Protein backbone atom coordinates (compact mmCIF):
# COMPACT_ATOMS: atom_id res chain seq x y z
CA UNK A 1 0.00 0.00 0.00
CA UNK A 2 1.48 3.40 -0.94
CA UNK A 3 2.37 5.64 1.98
CA UNK A 4 3.40 8.47 -0.30
CA UNK A 5 2.18 9.32 -3.78
CA UNK A 6 3.30 12.28 -5.84
CA UNK A 7 1.55 13.20 -9.06
CA UNK A 8 2.99 15.61 -11.64
CA UNK A 9 4.97 17.38 -8.94
CA UNK A 10 6.73 20.57 -10.03
CA UNK A 11 9.09 22.96 -8.35
CA UNK A 12 10.29 25.97 -10.33
CA UNK A 13 12.56 28.74 -9.08
CA UNK A 14 12.28 32.20 -10.50
CA UNK A 15 15.78 33.61 -11.07
CA UNK A 16 17.10 36.67 -12.94
CA UNK A 17 18.25 34.27 -15.69
CA UNK A 18 14.81 32.71 -16.10
CA UNK A 19 12.62 30.02 -14.57
CA UNK A 20 14.63 27.04 -13.24
CA UNK A 21 12.61 23.86 -13.79
CA UNK A 22 14.29 22.05 -10.88
CA UNK A 23 11.54 19.41 -10.61
CA UNK A 24 9.33 19.08 -13.65
CA UNK A 25 6.34 16.75 -13.61
CA UNK A 26 7.57 13.92 -11.40
CA UNK A 27 5.15 11.14 -10.38
CA UNK A 28 5.79 8.04 -8.28
CA UNK A 29 4.61 6.26 -5.18
CA UNK A 30 6.45 4.59 -2.29
CA UNK A 31 4.90 1.72 -0.38
CA UNK A 32 4.99 1.65 3.39
CA UNK A 33 8.25 0.20 4.70
CA UNK A 34 10.01 0.49 1.34
CA UNK A 35 12.81 2.69 0.00
CA UNK A 36 12.77 4.67 -3.22
CA UNK A 37 16.32 5.46 -4.33
CA UNK A 38 16.55 8.74 -6.21
CA UNK A 39 19.61 9.01 -8.45
CA UNK A 40 21.03 11.37 -11.04
CA UNK A 41 23.85 13.83 -11.53
CA UNK A 42 24.41 16.90 -9.40
CA UNK A 43 21.81 19.56 -10.15
CA UNK A 44 19.15 17.20 -11.58
CA UNK A 45 16.70 18.15 -8.82
CA UNK A 46 17.02 15.29 -6.30
CA UNK A 47 17.29 17.45 -3.19
CA UNK A 48 14.66 19.88 -4.41
CA UNK A 49 12.25 16.98 -4.94
CA UNK A 50 12.89 15.61 -1.43
CA UNK A 51 12.53 19.03 0.18
CA UNK A 52 9.36 19.80 -1.75
CA UNK A 53 7.73 16.51 -0.75
CA UNK A 54 8.24 17.21 2.95
CA UNK A 55 7.13 20.84 2.53
CA UNK A 56 10.44 22.53 3.27
CA UNK A 57 9.69 24.29 -0.01
CA UNK A 58 6.32 25.06 -1.50
CA UNK A 59 5.52 23.11 -4.69
CA UNK A 60 4.79 24.96 -7.92
CA UNK A 61 2.26 22.38 -9.12
CA UNK A 62 1.11 18.78 -8.78
CA UNK A 63 -0.21 16.72 -5.89
CA UNK A 64 1.40 15.18 -2.80
CA UNK A 65 -0.64 12.44 -1.12
CA UNK A 66 0.31 10.95 2.21
CA UNK A 67 -1.62 7.99 3.65
CA UNK A 68 -4.15 8.51 0.90
CA UNK A 69 -4.83 12.14 1.87
CA UNK A 70 -4.00 15.13 -0.30
CA UNK A 71 -1.44 17.08 1.74
CA UNK A 72 -0.28 19.42 -1.02
CA UNK A 73 -1.68 22.55 0.58
CA UNK A 74 -1.83 22.55 4.34
CA UNK A 75 -2.65 25.10 7.03
CA UNK A 76 -0.41 25.70 10.03
CA UNK A 77 -1.83 22.82 12.10
CA UNK A 78 -1.72 20.40 9.16
CA UNK A 79 1.91 21.32 8.53
CA UNK A 80 2.81 20.84 12.19
CA UNK A 81 1.30 17.35 12.14
CA UNK A 82 3.03 16.53 8.84
CA UNK A 83 6.39 17.60 10.30
CA UNK A 84 6.02 14.81 12.86
CA UNK A 85 5.27 12.24 10.17
CA UNK A 86 7.87 13.39 7.63
CA UNK A 87 11.49 14.10 8.48
CA UNK A 88 14.80 14.63 6.73
CA UNK A 89 18.38 13.50 7.32
CA UNK A 90 20.90 15.80 5.65
CA UNK A 91 24.20 15.06 3.97
CA UNK A 92 26.24 17.20 6.28
CA UNK A 93 25.09 16.97 9.88
CA UNK A 94 27.75 19.53 10.72
CA UNK A 95 25.77 22.28 9.07
CA UNK A 96 22.34 20.90 9.90
CA UNK A 97 22.93 20.55 13.66
CA UNK A 98 22.92 23.64 15.85
CA UNK A 99 26.59 24.14 16.89
CA UNK A 100 25.51 25.67 20.20
CA UNK A 101 23.48 22.64 21.34
CA UNK A 102 25.01 19.61 23.02
CA UNK A 103 24.12 16.21 21.54
CA UNK A 104 21.71 15.69 24.43
CA UNK A 105 19.95 19.01 23.77
CA UNK A 106 19.95 18.38 20.02
CA UNK A 107 17.98 15.18 20.58
CA UNK A 108 15.77 16.57 23.35
CA UNK A 109 14.72 19.68 21.40
CA UNK A 110 12.12 18.05 19.11
CA UNK A 111 10.84 15.97 22.06
CA UNK A 112 10.31 19.14 24.10
CA UNK A 113 8.58 20.96 21.27
CA UNK A 114 6.18 18.02 20.86
CA UNK A 115 5.16 18.29 24.55
CA UNK A 116 4.72 14.51 24.63
CA UNK A 117 6.95 13.96 27.67
CA UNK A 118 7.37 15.27 31.21
CA UNK A 119 10.96 16.05 32.25
CA UNK A 120 11.64 12.52 33.52
CA UNK A 121 10.17 10.94 30.42
CA UNK A 122 12.20 13.35 28.31
CA UNK A 123 15.51 12.18 29.79
CA UNK A 124 14.57 8.52 29.47
CA UNK A 125 13.57 9.06 25.84
CA UNK A 126 16.78 10.97 25.03
CA UNK A 127 18.82 8.11 26.53
CA UNK A 128 16.82 5.54 24.58
CA UNK A 129 17.37 7.42 21.32
CA UNK A 130 21.11 7.75 21.93
CA UNK A 131 21.34 4.00 22.57
CA UNK A 132 19.18 3.25 19.55
CA UNK A 133 21.44 5.16 17.14
CA UNK A 134 24.62 3.99 18.85
CA UNK A 135 25.99 7.18 20.45
CA UNK A 136 27.74 6.39 23.70
CA UNK A 137 26.37 8.23 26.74
CA UNK A 138 29.78 9.82 27.35
CA UNK A 139 29.10 12.07 24.35
CA UNK A 140 25.80 13.46 25.66
CA UNK A 141 27.35 16.79 26.71
CA UNK A 142 29.60 17.05 23.63
CA UNK A 143 28.99 19.63 20.92
CA UNK A 144 28.67 18.64 17.25
CA UNK A 145 32.21 19.83 16.38
CA UNK A 146 33.62 17.53 19.08
CA UNK A 147 32.22 14.40 17.39
CA UNK A 148 33.49 12.54 14.34
CA UNK A 149 31.36 12.56 11.19
CA UNK A 150 29.75 9.18 11.88
CA UNK A 151 28.58 10.12 15.38
CA UNK A 152 27.38 13.50 14.14
CA UNK A 153 25.27 11.74 11.52
CA UNK A 154 23.97 9.38 14.22
CA UNK A 155 22.87 12.47 16.16
CA UNK A 156 21.12 13.79 13.04
CA UNK A 157 19.36 10.45 12.70
CA UNK A 158 18.32 10.44 16.39
CA UNK A 159 16.82 13.88 15.94
CA UNK A 160 15.01 12.83 12.78
CA UNK A 161 13.42 9.74 14.35
CA UNK A 162 12.68 11.37 17.72
CA UNK A 163 8.99 11.91 16.99
CA UNK A 164 8.39 8.51 15.35
CA UNK A 165 8.03 9.74 11.77
CA UNK A 166 6.63 7.44 9.12
CA UNK A 167 8.58 8.85 6.19
CA UNK A 168 12.16 10.13 6.01
CA UNK A 169 13.99 11.84 3.16
CA UNK A 170 17.60 10.68 3.45
CA UNK A 171 19.43 13.36 1.46
CA UNK A 172 22.89 11.94 0.64
CA UNK A 173 23.25 10.85 4.29
CA UNK A 174 26.53 8.99 3.80
CA UNK A 175 28.22 10.95 1.00
CA UNK A 176 30.32 13.05 3.37
CA UNK A 177 31.51 10.05 5.41
CA UNK A 178 34.50 7.72 5.15
CA UNK A 179 33.67 4.50 3.32
CA UNK A 180 34.03 2.36 6.48
CA UNK A 181 31.58 4.62 8.34
CA UNK A 182 29.18 4.73 5.38
CA UNK A 183 28.38 1.03 5.79
CA UNK A 184 27.67 1.48 9.51
CA UNK A 185 25.26 4.35 8.89
CA UNK A 186 23.51 2.48 6.05
CA UNK A 187 23.09 -0.54 8.33
CA UNK A 188 21.69 1.68 11.06
CA UNK A 189 19.16 3.17 8.63
CA UNK A 190 18.14 -0.30 7.44
CA UNK A 191 17.81 -1.60 11.04
CA UNK A 192 15.63 1.38 11.97
CA UNK A 193 13.52 0.83 8.87
CA UNK A 194 12.92 -2.77 9.81
CA UNK A 195 12.19 -2.07 13.45
CA UNK A 196 9.84 0.88 12.90
CA UNK A 197 8.45 0.16 9.42
CA UNK A 198 9.97 3.42 8.13
CA UNK A 199 9.58 4.49 4.53
CA UNK A 200 12.53 6.26 2.88
CA UNK A 201 13.22 8.44 -0.11
CA UNK A 202 16.97 7.91 -0.42
CA UNK A 203 18.68 10.64 -2.43
CA UNK A 204 22.15 9.84 -3.72
CA UNK A 205 24.43 10.12 -6.71
CA UNK A 206 26.07 6.81 -5.70
CA UNK A 207 24.51 3.85 -7.47
CA UNK A 208 26.27 1.21 -5.38
CA UNK A 209 24.72 2.70 -2.25
CA UNK A 210 21.28 2.85 -3.77
CA UNK A 211 21.51 -0.74 -5.01
CA UNK A 212 22.15 -1.86 -1.47
CA UNK A 213 19.33 0.01 0.20
CA UNK A 214 16.47 0.59 -2.27
CA UNK A 215 13.37 -1.37 -3.17
CA UNK A 216 12.79 0.77 -6.26
CA UNK A 217 14.87 3.35 -8.07
CA UNK A 218 13.92 6.55 -9.83
CA UNK A 219 16.50 8.02 -12.24
CA UNK A 220 16.26 11.78 -12.79
CA UNK A 221 17.77 13.92 -15.49
CA UNK A 222 17.43 17.71 -15.45
CA UNK A 223 14.29 17.80 -13.33
CA UNK A 224 12.51 14.91 -15.00
CA UNK A 225 12.16 11.20 -14.36
CA UNK A 226 13.69 9.17 -17.13
CA UNK A 227 13.29 5.68 -15.69
CA UNK A 228 11.83 3.95 -12.65
CA UNK A 229 11.43 0.30 -11.68
CA UNK A 230 12.37 -2.21 -8.94
CA UNK A 231 16.10 -2.08 -8.08
CA UNK A 232 17.05 -5.50 -9.44
CA UNK A 233 15.26 -4.83 -12.71
CA UNK A 234 17.14 -1.52 -13.14
CA UNK A 235 20.52 -3.17 -12.72
CA UNK A 236 19.60 -6.24 -14.82
CA UNK A 237 17.76 -4.46 -17.58
CA UNK A 238 18.38 -0.71 -17.79
CA UNK A 239 16.50 0.82 -20.70
CA UNK A 240 17.21 4.53 -20.88
CA UNK A 241 20.54 5.54 -22.49
CA UNK A 242 21.19 7.84 -19.53
CA UNK A 243 20.64 5.01 -17.01
CA UNK A 244 22.95 2.80 -19.05
CA UNK A 245 25.65 5.48 -18.95
CA UNK A 246 25.22 5.90 -15.18
CA UNK A 247 25.47 2.14 -14.58
CA UNK A 248 28.52 1.83 -16.81
CA UNK A 249 30.36 4.24 -14.52
CA UNK A 250 30.06 1.97 -11.45
CA UNK A 251 33.47 0.46 -10.74
CA UNK A 252 33.38 -3.34 -10.81
CA UNK A 253 35.89 -5.90 -9.62
CA UNK A 254 34.24 -8.73 -11.55
CA UNK A 255 36.30 -9.08 -14.73
CA UNK A 256 33.76 -11.45 -16.31
CA UNK A 257 31.21 -8.66 -16.29
CA UNK A 258 33.55 -5.83 -17.06
CA UNK A 259 31.73 -3.36 -19.23
CA UNK A 260 32.73 -0.46 -21.40
CA UNK A 261 32.26 2.82 -19.66
CA UNK A 262 29.91 5.01 -21.68
CA UNK A 263 31.35 8.50 -21.78
CA UNK A 264 28.68 11.10 -22.38
CA UNK A 265 29.62 13.84 -24.78
CA UNK A 266 27.76 17.00 -25.72
CA UNK A 267 26.40 19.94 -23.81
CA UNK A 268 24.32 19.55 -20.69
CA UNK A 269 20.97 21.26 -21.26
CA UNK A 270 20.01 24.05 -18.95
CA UNK A 271 17.15 23.61 -16.47
CA UNK A 272 16.32 27.27 -17.19
CA UNK A 273 13.35 27.61 -19.55
CA UNK A 274 13.97 24.13 -21.05
CA UNK A 275 12.66 23.32 -24.52
CA UNK A 276 10.10 20.56 -24.99
CA UNK A 277 11.53 17.21 -25.99
CA UNK A 278 13.96 14.85 -24.31
CA UNK A 279 16.34 16.84 -22.07
CA UNK A 280 19.02 14.19 -22.49
CA UNK A 281 18.97 14.39 -26.32
CA UNK A 282 21.96 16.76 -26.58
CA UNK A 283 24.19 14.15 -24.93
CA UNK A 284 22.46 11.01 -26.18
CA UNK A 285 24.32 8.88 -28.73
CA UNK A 286 20.98 7.66 -30.12
CA UNK A 287 19.13 10.98 -30.45
CA UNK A 288 17.08 11.57 -33.60
CA UNK A 289 14.64 14.25 -34.72
CA UNK A 290 11.76 12.47 -32.94
CA UNK A 291 13.51 13.13 -29.59
CA UNK A 292 12.58 16.81 -29.93
CA UNK A 293 8.92 15.88 -29.42
CA UNK A 294 7.57 16.04 -25.82
CA UNK A 295 8.50 12.86 -23.94
CA UNK A 296 6.21 10.77 -21.76
CA UNK A 297 7.05 8.09 -19.24
CA UNK A 298 5.67 4.81 -20.62
CA UNK A 299 5.25 1.47 -18.85
CA UNK A 300 7.48 -0.83 -20.92
CA UNK A 301 7.02 -3.97 -18.83
CA UNK A 302 5.15 -4.45 -15.56
CA UNK A 303 6.39 -1.79 -13.11
CA UNK A 304 9.20 -0.63 -15.43
CA UNK A 305 8.69 2.89 -16.76
CA UNK A 306 11.00 4.71 -19.17
CA UNK A 307 10.76 8.01 -21.04
CA UNK A 308 12.99 7.17 -24.03
CA UNK A 309 11.00 6.96 -27.28
CA UNK A 310 13.72 4.94 -29.04
CA UNK A 311 14.26 1.99 -26.69
CA UNK A 312 13.06 -0.51 -29.30
CA UNK A 313 15.64 0.71 -31.80
CA UNK A 314 18.77 1.00 -29.64
N1 LIG B 1 16.66 28.16 -4.15
C2 LIG B 1 17.00 28.00 -5.44
N3 LIG B 1 16.93 29.02 -6.31
C4 LIG B 1 17.26 28.86 -7.62
N5 LIG B 1 17.64 27.68 -8.16
C6 LIG B 1 17.72 26.63 -7.33
C7 LIG B 1 17.42 26.73 -5.93
N8 LIG B 1 17.60 25.50 -5.36
C9 LIG B 1 18.00 24.68 -6.36
N10 LIG B 1 18.08 25.35 -7.52
C11 LIG B 1 18.45 24.80 -8.85
O12 LIG B 1 17.61 23.69 -9.09
C13 LIG B 1 18.33 22.66 -9.75
C14 LIG B 1 18.26 21.38 -8.95
O15 LIG B 1 19.04 21.52 -7.75
P16 LIG B 1 19.13 20.37 -6.64
O17 LIG B 1 20.02 20.89 -5.54
O18 LIG B 1 17.77 19.93 -6.28
O19 LIG B 1 19.88 19.21 -7.42
P20 LIG B 1 20.54 17.89 -6.86
O21 LIG B 1 20.28 16.83 -7.87
O22 LIG B 1 20.08 17.64 -5.48
O23 LIG B 1 22.08 18.27 -6.88
P24 LIG B 1 23.19 17.99 -5.76
O25 LIG B 1 23.44 16.53 -5.78
O26 LIG B 1 24.35 18.80 -6.25
O27 LIG B 1 22.63 18.51 -4.47
C28 LIG B 1 19.75 23.19 -9.96
O29 LIG B 1 19.82 23.76 -11.25
C30 LIG B 1 19.87 24.26 -8.89
O31 LIG B 1 20.79 25.25 -9.29
Asked whether the predicted pLDDT for residue 250 surpasses 90, the reply is no
Contact 102, 140 (CB under 8 A): yes
* pLDDT (mean) for 48-64: 97
Q: What is the DSSP string of 250-267?
A: S----GGG--------SP
**CA 287, CA 166: separation in Å to the nearest integer?**
42
What residue's CA is closest to ligand 1, atom 4?
13
ipTM of the complex: 0.97
Which residue among 45, 172, 226 has the greatest number of ligand 1 atoms within 8 angstroms of its CB, and so is best to mutate? 45
Ligand 1 atom with least separation from CA of 203: 22
pLDDT tens readout for residues 100-116: 999 999 999 999 988 88
For residue 26 and ligand 1, the question of a CB distance below 6 A is answered with: no
Residues 145-180 as b or e (16 or more Cβ within 10 Å = b): eebebbbbbbbbbbbbbbeebbbbbbbbbbebbeee
Q: Distance, CA 145 to ligand 1 centroid (Å)?
A: 27
Q: How confident is the model at residue 78 (pLDDT cuts 50, 70, 90)?
A: very high
Contact 39, 241 (CB under 8 A): no
pLDDT tens readout for residues 265-274: 777 777 898 8
What residue's CA is closest to ligand 1, atom 5?
13
* pLDDT (mean) for 245-261: 70
CATH, range 2-238: 3.40.50.300
Q: Where are the domains of the chain?
A: 2-238
For residue 46 and ligand 1, the question of a CB distance below 6 A is answered with: yes
Which residue among 22, 95, 209 has the greatest number of ligand 1 atoms within 8 angstroms of its CB, and so is best to mutate? 22
69 DSSP β-pair partners: 66
Beta strand 216-221 pairing with 35-39: parallel
What residue's CA is closest to ligand 1, atom 28?
43
* pLDDT (mean) for 52-68: 97
What pTM did the predictor assign?
0.93
Q: Distance, CA 20 to ligand 1 centroid (Å)?
A: 9
What residue's CA is closest to ligand 1, atom 11?
22
pLDDT tens readout for residues 160-209: 999 999 999 999 999 989 998 999 999 999 999 999 999 999 999 889 89
Amino acid sequence: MPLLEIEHLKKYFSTPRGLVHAVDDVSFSINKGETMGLVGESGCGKSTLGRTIIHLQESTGGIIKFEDKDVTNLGKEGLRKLREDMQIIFQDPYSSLNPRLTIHDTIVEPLMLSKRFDSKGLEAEANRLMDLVGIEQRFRMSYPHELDGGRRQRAGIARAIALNPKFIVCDEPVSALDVSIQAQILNLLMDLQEEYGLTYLFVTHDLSVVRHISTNICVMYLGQMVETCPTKELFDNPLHPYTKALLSAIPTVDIRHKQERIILKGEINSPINPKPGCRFALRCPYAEAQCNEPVVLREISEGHFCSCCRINEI
